[in-house]
Amino acid sequence: MSESEVGKDTTPEPSPANGTGPGPEWGLCPGPPTVGTDTSGASGLGTPRRRTQHNKHKTVAVASAQRSPRALFCLTLTNPIRRSCISIVEWKPFDILILLTIFANCVALGVYIPFPEDDSNTANHNLEQVEYVFLVIFTVETVLKIVAYGLVLHPSAYIRNGWNLLDFIIVVVGLFSVLLEQGPGRPGDAPHTGGKPGGFDVKALRAFRVLRPLRLVSGVPSLHIVLNSIMKALVPLLHIALLVLFVIIIYAIIGLELFLGRMHKTCYFLGSDMEAEEDPSPCASSGSGRSCTLNHTECRGRWPGPNGGITNFDNFFFAMLTVFQCITMEGWTDVLYWMQDAMGYELPWVYFVSLVIFGSFFVLNLVLGVLSGEFSKEREKAKARGDFQKLREKQQMEEDLRGYLDWITQAEELDLHDPSVDGNLGHNCQS
């Protein structure tokens, strides 16, 4: 067999199975490439082709696990419009811009001064015009996120998140109110003054603007943790509320038995219905309570009682109200001193001190304990989600690196097991 025939028979053809082949970049010959440019081109393109296919497969797999395969029934993950929207909404400066816009909107809502009879001034008129800018920005953000994530069908769609649903409702109500304001209005209605647009009066719809500061929750992860902990604690807080109600009922019944009718005696001048003190308080006609020490005064009934007759234990509902006031520790010492003046020291101290210790220090502080526990759980969940996301990214990098190493290993095996490679390279160098 001639030398040319050997070179012809042993020259490797590019294989579609592996996509690789020897080329000038593999050899030791410093000369220019030989005529087999197709083979070398195929081998040279094998690396980026295999790498591109591998990356494309991984990217589509990860994206399909997180995003809807189709948005609005027509936009796939490979659609350039949707890919652009995803890039924009996941761009960090875009989130910062939205947060700054929400802060500016909060400032505008705080500066706005409502006037009666639809009156206004120049500052309010300018703020009304700025509201359109905010509405346009929020509308663009909503549209971009709907195109990027889908609307509702996929589990990761836009309004499947509660906070995104709130944002969507606020934007839709804002657009609806603007459309109604720009309408022709009903015949006979007085035109809006102070620079306000004409059309229908949509004050109720415009009141939804006060919900825009809640959009900060969807942009600040720490607020997510706080509000989620409050929402998760509603059921345990209901149980604690029932316990508080039970304590109030028990102490109200005990107060009815001990203090019924005790708060309606005070000091009067003899022979008249004039109160002897400028700031009257209960007294006791007998026993260890407070006695009237002024001349020509006596302790007798027919006084409404402290706080206009509200603070007493004459019936079950007033007793519950008084006990609730003591549990909140709002003026409970005054109630204690009034009851002490009415009947002495022993029972009031035992009753009210035990009520404050058990009802306020223990039972009401259970609310803080429940909230603290739920907050810790939500914080741990958020930390676990963050760790899981980092682990997924690390695994993705490891899988990509493993794919590259597999490709390099296959290329080295081809180089070692194909004896024609060295012969061809040597022949090219000799020629």
Question: How do the residues of the chain divide into helix, strand and coil, expressed in percent and rounded to 5?
Answer: 65, 5, 30
CA gap 412, 404 in Å, rounded: 12
Mean pLDDT score of the chain: 76
For residue range 346-381, what is the model confidence (pLDDT) as tens digits?
889 999 999 999 988 888 888 888 888 888 888 888
pLDDT per position in the chain (431 positions), as tens? 444 444 444 444 444 434 444 444 444 344 444 434 343 433 443 444 444 444 444 444 444 446 778 888 888 888 889 899 989 998 989 988 988 988 888 888 888 887 776 677 888 888 888 888 988 999 999 999 999 888 888 888 888 888 788 888 888 888 888 888 776 655 555 554 444 444 455 666 777 777 777 777 766 777 778 888 888 888 888 999 899 999 999 999 999 999 988 888 888 888 888 888 888 888 888 778 888 888 888 888 888 888 888 888 989 999 999 999 999 988 899 999 999 988 888 889 999 999 999 988 888 888 888 888 888 888 888 888 888 888 888 888 888 888 888 888 887 777 666 655 555 544 444 54
Closest CA to 346 of 262, 293, 292, 288: 288
What topology does CATH give the domain 70-181+204-219? Four Helix Bundle (Hemerythrin (Met), subunit A) (1.20.120)
Closest CA to 385 of 225, 230, 232: 225
Please tell me whether the overall predicted TM-score, pTM, comes out greater than 0.85 for this model. no
Closest CA to 142 of 113, 115, 165: 165
Percent of the chain past pLDDT 70, that is, above it, reads 74
Burial class (CB in 10 A: 0-12, 13-18, 19+), 74: exposed
CA gap 114, 343 in Å, rounded: 54
Tell me phi and psi for residue 334, to 5 degrees. -65, -45
- Token reading at 280: 């009257």
CA gap 101, 399 in Å, rounded: 40
CATH class of the domain at 221-261+310-407: mainly alpha
Closest CA to 306 of 347, 277, 272: 277
Burial class (CB in 10 A: 0-12, 13-18, 19+), 368: exposed
Element holding 179 (H helix, E strand): helix 162-181
For residue range 282-338, what is the model confidence (pLDDT) as tens digits?
888 877 888 888 888 888 888 888 888 888 898 999 999 999 999 998 889 999 999
Residue given tokens 């947060």 in the structure block: 99
Q: What is the torsional sign of CA 314, 315, 320, 325? A: negative
The alpha-helical segments, DSSP class H, found in 302-364 are 306-309, 316-327, 332-343, 346-355
277 appears as a binding residue in the annotation: no
Rg (CA), the chain: 41
Spans of all domains in the chain: 70-181+204-219, 221-261+310-407, 265-303
